[in-house]
Amino acid sequence: QQKVQQSPESLTVSEGAMASLNCTFSDGTSNNFRWYRQHSAKGLEVLVSIFSDGEKEEGRFTAHLNRANLHVSLHIREPQPSDSAVYLCAVSMRPGGYKVVFGSGTRLLVSP
Amino acid sequence: DTTVKQNPRYKLARVGKPVNLICSQTMNHDTMYWYQKKPNQAPKLLLFYYDKILNREADTFEKFQSSRPNNSFCSLYIGSAGLEYSAMYLCASSATGTANTEVFFGKGTRLTVV
């Protein structure tokens, strides 16, 4: 059973400083990784998807995937107070259907 | 249109009463999912339909039902709501043609059981 764990549980950074979030997963055959953001009481917003080892950048958001280490990270460049939200790591695999398992999230607070 | 639509956005239900949540998509996706999200917890996969095949997670097998009358619609049914069912319910869909498929989420239905 796929297990996805995120760290830290919460993170406070100053506006403009880099924010780094971590995610580990248990199943090395996973082939699809995403970072989502959820502002309170809103739906999920996809930030970046990554499917192969290395780096993927979408605007100020960069994901790094190292499948051998079972690790995917998200780096937020020049975070702003409006980036304060819960960030969720999602790992997918295809057992004949397409199952997405989420981590429990990192709560990011960006202080002005 | 790449949106997944969920109705209603907010639902109030009484303990012991049934609840039916609706989700639709027009992207011709073969897979549709239902997740339950409680505050400070990860979205939890309840079940998903791959085409006409329903897959329910082992720990929620007894609590939730679903139907998919056609490719575009999928419902989540709770036969007898309990207080513990209060949560945000998220529907999602994807096409499983390639490993790089995107998963699209709806805005969710916030269910409050009283």
Separation of alpha carbons A106 and B42, rounded Å: 10
pLDDT of residue A96: 46
Give B90's strand partners: B35
Q: Give the model's confidence band at A57: pLDDT under 50 very low, under 70 low, under 90 confident, else very high.
A: very high
Evaluate if residue B12 carries a pLDDT over 70: yes
Per-residue confidence band for B67, with pLDDT thresholds at 50, 70 and 90: very high
Instruction: Verify whether the Cβ–Cβ distance B102 to A49 is below 8 Å.
Output: yes
- Considering chain A, what is the average pLDDT of its residues? 89
* Separation of alpha carbons A33 and A101, rounded Å: 10
Contact B103 A4 (CB under 8 A): no
Q: CA-CA distance, A79 to A60, in Å (whole number)?
A: 8
What was the pLDDT predicted at A41?
62
Q: Do B103 and A105 touch (CB under 8 A)?
A: no
Provide mean pLDDT across the span B65-85: 95
pLDDT in tens, A71-107: 999 999 999 999 999 999 999 876 545 678 889 899 9
The answer, for B34 touching chain A at a CB cutoff of 8 Å, is no
> Span B49-62, mean pLDDT?
84
Contact A56, A112 (CB under 8 A): no
pLDDT over threshold 60, residue B99: no
B41 confidence band (pLDDT: 50, 70, 90): confident
pLDDT (0 to 100) of residue A101: 86
Instruction: Please count the CA atoms within 13 angstroms of the CA of A20 that sit on its side-chain side.
Output: 5
For residues A27-47, give the mean pLDDT: 83
Q: Check residue A98 and give its pLDDT.
A: 64
Mean pLDDT of B74-82: 95
- Nearest CB to A104 within list B42, B92, B94: B42
What's the pLDDT at A43? 72
* 3-class DSSP state of B76: strand
| pLDDT recorded at residue B102 | 75
Q: Considering only CB atoms, which chain B residues are within 8 Å of A94?
A: 96, 99
Q: How far apart are the C-alpha atoms of B100 and B102, rounded to whole Å? A: 6
Beta bridge partners of A19: A76
The reply to whether residue B96 touches residue A97, judged by beta carbons under 8 angstroms, is: yes
Residue contact A32–B99, C-beta within 8 A: yes
